[in-house]
Amino acid sequence: MKAYPEPPLDSNLIVKGLRTKRLGRSLVVLEECTSTNDAAAQSALEGAPHGFTVIAEEQSAGRGRQGRVWISPKGGMWLTVLFRAPFSVGSVNALPLIGAVAIARVINSNLGVRSRVRWPNDVVVDHRKLSGVLVEAKSKGNELEYALLGMGINANFCTGAVKEIGQTSASLLEILGSPIDREPLFCSILQETERLYELLASGDLGGIMKPLLSLECSRGKRVSLRLQDRRIEGVFDNYDGLTKVCIVTPAGLPETIDTSSVVSVVYL
Ligand code: BTN
């Protein structure tokens, strides 16, 4: 796999640049792991605190939604944040959008990129995927124990040089024409994720919906959804809070879909 030659991540720069209360305050930066979600799950078992974060230079078995492989060469930004209970099922289901909004806001304001959020969990630039979010939760009995917010950003490598990555992907290097400093970006993403999560925890959904609606690019698009029990095709009409969306079927009927029941999404 061809990667852009660059200095390795400097964990001291991340620690020095962090302005968060909890997120990233307990931090591990790995040369390589299977998946930062795996590494964070292992640390969660061993008692890692809320906000614990794993960053990896490279993932050998990065994974995406719906069991897909997530190709994760050196030069990317691969991280997972541990969120410990107490939290409601609703707030776990809102985490993918929180991650996507945090990434898009930071990339746009820090780097001047015009990225958008594509429901349910992508950050895209000109319809090409720059970043994806994978949330995995663990329950104990009926109780949610923790959730892992995994975020992947194609940063300092050329997606075109990695044959396993589809042509509908993009990287910051390709968009900007030169590599970025990843350390300050990690800090800003952790800070913005924490800010949005605090809004969610305090019930201030409006504080999240406003940036989401200004960044989103799914409304008006035709989509085909595979749900747990059926398929539905229609036009993405709007968000109904952070965990539901409204799809208008070809018959003109609005249907409210819970994002957690969605198995796969294809934009037509
Ligand atoms: C998707 O779009 O399908 C989600 C991709 C999520 C990738 C990130 S990279 C960090 C974390 N570790 C993983 O194995 N996956 C997520």
R_g of the chain, CA atoms, integer Å = 18
**Which atom of ligand 1 sits closest to the CA of residue 61?**
14
Which tens digit of pLDDT belongs to each residue from 119-178? Answer: 999 999 999 999 999 999 998 888 889 999 999 999 999 998 887 887 899 999 999 999
Structure tokens that stand for 163 in this block: 């044959």
Question: What is the CA(153)–ligand 1 centre distance, in A?
Answer: 9
Cβ neighbourhood burial of 224 (10 Å; 0-12, 13-18, 19+): middle
Residues in the chain: 268
**Which atom of ligand 1 sits closest to the CA of residue 131?**
2
Convert 76-141 into a string of H (helix), E (strand) and C (coil): CEEEEEEEECCCCHHHHHHHHHHHHHHHHHHHHHHHCCCCEEECCCEEEECCEEEEEEEEEEEEEC
Whether the CB of 119 sits within 6 Å of ligand 1: no
Residues near 18 by Cβ (< 8 Å), separated by ≥ 6?
24, 25, 27, 187, 190, 191
209 Ramachandran zone, left/alpha/beta (phi>0; psi -120 to 50): alpha
161 Ramachandran zone, left/alpha/beta (phi>0; psi -120 to 50): alpha
From 71, 78, 131, mutation site for ligand 1 pocket: most ligand atoms within 8 A of C-beta? 78
Whether residue 96 contacts residue 133, with contact meaning beta carbons closer than 8 Å, is answered with yes
| CA angle at 238 for the pair 235 and 244, rounded to the nearest 5° | 105
Whether residue 104 contacts residue 123, with contact meaning beta carbons closer than 8 Å, is answered with yes
Which tens digit of pLDDT belongs to each residue from 18-52? Answer: 999 999 999 999 999 999 999 999 999 999 999 99
Q: Is 225 helix (H, G, I), strand (E, B) or coil?
A: strand
Whether the CB of 35 sits within 6 Å of ligand 1: yes
Residue 3 has a pLDDT of: 46
Whether the CB of 120 sits within 6 Å of ligand 1: no
Strand partners, 225: 232, 265
On average, the pLDDT of the chain sits at 94
Residue 57 has a pLDDT of: 97
Nearest residue (CA) to ligand 1, atom 2: 132
Which tens digit of pLDDT belongs to each residue from 198-248? Answer: 999 999 999 999 999 999 999 999 999 999 999 999 999 999 999 999 999
**Which atom of ligand 1 sits closest to the CA of residue 129?**
2
Strand partners, 79: 55, 151
Q: How far is CA 45 from CA 78, 79, 146, 148, in A?
A: 21, 18, 10, 12
Whether the CB of 63 sits within 6 Å of ligand 1: yes
Does pTM surpass 0.85? yes
Residue 5 has a pLDDT of: 59
Whether the CB of 37 sits within 6 Å of ligand 1: yes
**Which atom of ligand 1 sits closest to the CA of residue 68?**
3
